[in-house]
Amino acid sequence: MDYHLLTFVTVAEKLNFTRAAESLHITQSAVTLSIKALEKKYNVTFLDRTNKYVRLTEAGELFYFHAKKILSEYKEVKDLINYLSETKIRPLSIGSSFTFGEYLLPKVIAEYIKMDKKHDNPMISIRNSNRIVDQLLHGEIDLGIIDSHLTSHPHLSITPFKEDELVVIVSKNHRLANFPSVELRDLYNETWILREDGSGTREVVKHFFHKQGFHPPIIRSFGSTQIIKESVEADLGISILSKYAIQKEVNMGSLKLLRIKNETIKRYFSYIVPEFSFKQHATAPLINELTREYKLYRNVSIGE
């Protein structure tokens, strides 16, 4: 492990020498010496620092990106050696988009643990699809599950495995609550409460709206499916969410499901892994469980 790199990355993320020192359990002077050593080695300033702030320079931003990758490679080599020597099995690290991660992944993980006792403590992070891709590229997770239209990437293998349908949801008191389907134009003047940019759900909705030439004047963005559901229940607006995310509320009657006449909003959940990785031994059991549980879709077309 290159401790100068580790120190630099910690400072870059904390943007504070004192907090970086505390995190690394070293003195602040040791942190300063590591940063100075790196800047002397490369003859460039990585950090602008004053008594009030610490900021990355342009060179610092570039160096941080590559330093993270290098540290990730160190960790991967260490994990692989530990695996091969059978002295330690690193927990599988999984990243999932919100919809699949919150409503479908728990069942998959439960079955996965039953099937593979060696990996009985997987680490799970729930993020939007763009963030999951970023985490995978930086080596922060071993396998990602996304719900976006991403179908190809130069460094990732992307495999769709389950179909999902998005539906319009309204409160039980909404004027259209008892209609099984409506024309999209009937919803033009509604306040739309949608997921934030970067989420797979928002990407699918934007694609659908664009395809329909539909541009509602009032759109609010929230970063949580749960907040969106509660906002719709409170009559703050309407939304489009996965049918898997609203089953409980629909069954309870607090939300009503609407479909757009003559239109079906579909997407696919996909699992993504690095194109070339030494971690296939760890991800294979979970991928097998995903494909067994959901009968892997083949020859699907995404983003039509």
Per-residue pLDDT reduced to its tens digit, 235-281: 999 999 999 999 999 999 999 999 999 999 999 999 999 876 656 66
Q: Number of C-alpha atoms within 13 angstroms, CB side, residue 188? A: 7
Contact 283, 123 (CB under 8 A): no
Is 133 part of a structural domain of the chain?
yes
Q: Is the torsion defined by CA of 186, 188, 192, 194 positive or negative?
A: positive
Map tokens 């760890």 to a residue: 282
Q: How many domains does the chain have?
A: 3
What is the domain-level CATH number for residue 65? 1.10.10.10
Percentage of the residues of the chain whose pLDDT score is greater than 70:
88
Decide which of 83, 109, 142 is a domain's last residue. 83
Name the token pair of 212: 């329909």
Dihedral angle computed from the Cα positions of residues 104, 108, 113 and 114, in that order, rounded to the nearest 10 degrees: 120
Residue 237 burial (C-beta neighbours within 10 Å; 0-12, 13-18, 19+): buried
Long-range contacts of 67-72, Cβ-Cβ distance < 8 Å, separation of 24 or more: 67/5, 67/8, 67/9, 67/12, 68/9, 68/138, 68/139, 69/138, 69/139, 70/2, 70/5, 71/1, 71/2, 71/5, 71/6, 71/9, 72/138, 72/139, 72/140
CA distances from 255 to 101, 167, 177, 241 (A): 21, 12, 8, 12
- What gap in Å lies between CA 50 and CA 68, rounded to an integer? 25
Residues 6+ apart with CB under 8 A from 119: 89, 91, 92, 112, 113, 282, 285, 286
- pLDDT tens sequence across 55-71: 999 999 999 999 998 98
Phi, psi of 193 (to 5 degrees): -110, 110
Contact 197, 225 (CB under 8 A): no
Residues 112 and 79 in one domain: no
Its domain, for residue 72, covers 3-83
Residues 157 and 214 in one domain: no
Is 224 part of a structural domain of the chain?
yes
What is the domain-level CATH number for residue 144? 3.40.190.10
Phi, psi of 266 (to 5 degrees): -120, 155
CA-closest candidate to residue 165, choices 225, 244, 98, 103: 244
Is 301 part of a structural domain of the chain?
no
Q: What pTM value is reported for the model?
A: 0.65
Residue 7 burial (C-beta neighbours within 10 Å; 0-12, 13-18, 19+): buried
Residues 150 and 222 in one domain: no
Is 303 part of a structural domain of the chain?
no
Name the token pair of 32: 């300063």
Residues 38 and 180 in one domain: no
Name the token pair of 285: 């059991």
Show pLDDT as tens, one digit a residue, over the chain (304 residues). 588 889 999 999 999 999 989 988 889 999 999 999 999 999 999 999 888 889 999 999 999 999 998 988 887 777 767 655 544 556 788 999 999 999 999 988 888 887 765 656 788 999 998 899 998 888 888 899 998 778 888 889 999 999 999 999 999 999 999 998 999 999 999 999 999 998 989 999 999 999 999 999 999 999 899 999 999 999 999 999 999 999 999 999 999 999 999 999 999 999 999 876 656 666 777 888 887 766 544 443 333 3
Residues 245 and 125 in one domain: no
Residues 212 and 260 in one domain: yes
